[in-house]
Amino acid sequence: MKLKGQRGVLRGKLCVPGDKSISHRSVILGSLAKGTTIITNFLNGEDCLATIAAFRAMGIEIEQDNQVVTITGKGIEELKEPLEPINLGNSGTTARLLLGVLAGLPFHSTLYGDNSLTKRPMDRITDPLRTMGAKIDGRAKGKYLPLAVRGQQLTGITYHPPVKSAQVKSGVLLAGLLAEGTTTVVEKTKTRDHTENMLQAFGAKVDVQGLTVKIKGKQSLKGTSIQVPGDISSAAFFIGAAAMVPGSKITIEHVGLNPTRTGILDVVKAMGAKLSIVETSTIGGEKVGTITVEYSELKGITIAGDVIPRMIDELPIAALLATQAKGETVIKDAEELRFKETDRIATVANVLTKLGAHINPTEDGMVIKGVTPLTGTNVESYGDHRIGMMIAIASLVCQQEVILENPDAINVSYPGFFEDLNKLV
């Protein structure tokens, strides 16, 4: 795909598609619940469609009309053994959360994914699940997909995840819902808390005290209505674009403002962009509001510590922003980037270096020197949706045309991305 360089300022208002994390969870919990669940503003992207397909394969009736999904839930006991292996596509969230559910259901199932997902570590979730009594087998002692699960009656545990991962926390909590006794997860750093919020919206009791989350097993869920807010991780690409292209000013409405997700707003502000954030409502425990961002001269900063899990998926766009900020930006404590759809420390550094940036990858992050004018060339998304979107936004400040190879990867989380970009530019 050809992307013209220096296409001008961004102006206007936009609503981005529904939040990916919340869309996944709404299908999972709706499928485990008794009664009807109606999801609106569902993210109709490939990852979330994989979650729908997985539960359809277990006999759940799920109707989808674009962004509206209706689930006729019959309760956990009614889920059926899938007849065929379940294809998770590119979706790490589906893999880790579904493993938590399947480990506690009384049947056999097999999971596989695409090339990227097959290389991503699953032992981070299979290890705690095995401690709960799960029987899971696969390559490298169950570290990688494909995995075969022989469902068991699980027992609650107290788990201190060694990695900062909401997927691991969520997978263990979902297994805890099916287990005997109480399951406790104690995090080192707070990660996104959509599972805890949504379990409560479905009628479960969850006890959250700081970094500790407790769930009692054998609770039943009741179908409900879920209104999915816009995905701040998708909005982040346009927020970054407006912060970086002189003369820009845009507003994004009805976007999720859950504090475990808004690290990018803190960072963009600290770099010097003009930002206004107005909370308009709280729906199902999730804050929602409007963000206005306006260009201003940017400066380099250090991005490290507790803010990292609050913006883990936004680090590629933050790195791009740093190429247009005066001075040095240091990203640290972000070793988890190496386990995403691609090794995002390597792919961000490769792509931005090719475009002319001064960027050095480190073990747990990167160091970027700005301001650097970017040039146009051929660059690869590496099949990673967020790398694809970072490249498209980079083209706005590139002096020549950029040719983006494999732009379709973006459909994983943002179908309609280029239409929305064209509306704003």
Helix (H, G, I), strand (E, B) or coil at 281: strand
Q: Which of 37, 44, 109, 167 binds ligand S3P (CB under 6 A)?
A: 167
Stretch that binds ligand S3P, among 68-76, 145-153, 166-174, 181-189 (CB under 6 A): 166-174
Q: Which of 313, 314, 384, 420 binds ligand S3P (CB under 6 A)?
A: 313
CA distances from 59 to 62, 79, 80, 85 (A): 9, 6, 6, 14
Reading the block at residue 197, the tokens are 């919020």
The minimum distance between CB 278 and ligand S3P, in angstroms, equals 25
Q: How far apart are CA 366 and CA 191, in angstroms?
A: 21
Q: How far apart are CA 188 and CA 146, in angstroms?
A: 29
The minimum distance between CB 170 and ligand S3P, in angstroms, equals 6
* 313 part of the active site: yes
C-beta separation of 239 from 231 below 8 A:
no
Tell me: does residue 312 bind ligand S3P (CB under 6 A).
yes
Specify the residue, 336 or 380, whose C-beta has the smaller distance to ligand S3P: 336
> Binding pattern to ligand S3P, positions 319-358, x when CB under 6 A?
-----------------x----------------------
Provide the CB-side half-sphere exposure for 106 (13 A, CA).
Answer: 4
Q: How far apart are CA 387 and CA 379, in angstroms?
A: 10
C-beta separation of 215 from 192 below 8 A:
no
Specify the residue, 34 or 192, whose C-beta has the smaller distance to ligand S3P: 192
Q: Which of 192, 261, 287, 385 binds ligand S3P (CB under 6 A)?
A: 192
Cis peptide bond prior to 371, omega within 30° of 0: yes
Stretch that binds ligand S3P, among 76-84, 101-109, 164-172, 265-273 (CB under 6 A): 164-172
The minimum distance between CB 64 and ligand S3P, in angstroms, equals 20
- Torsion, Cα 68 74 78 80, to 10 degrees, reads -20
**Of the residues 313, 333, 343, 364, which is catalytic?**
313
The minimum distance between CB 322 and ligand S3P, in angstroms, equals 20
> Which residues contact ligand S3P by CB under 6 A?
21, 93, 165-167, 170, 192, 312-313, 336
Question: Which residues are annotated as catalytic?
Answer: 313
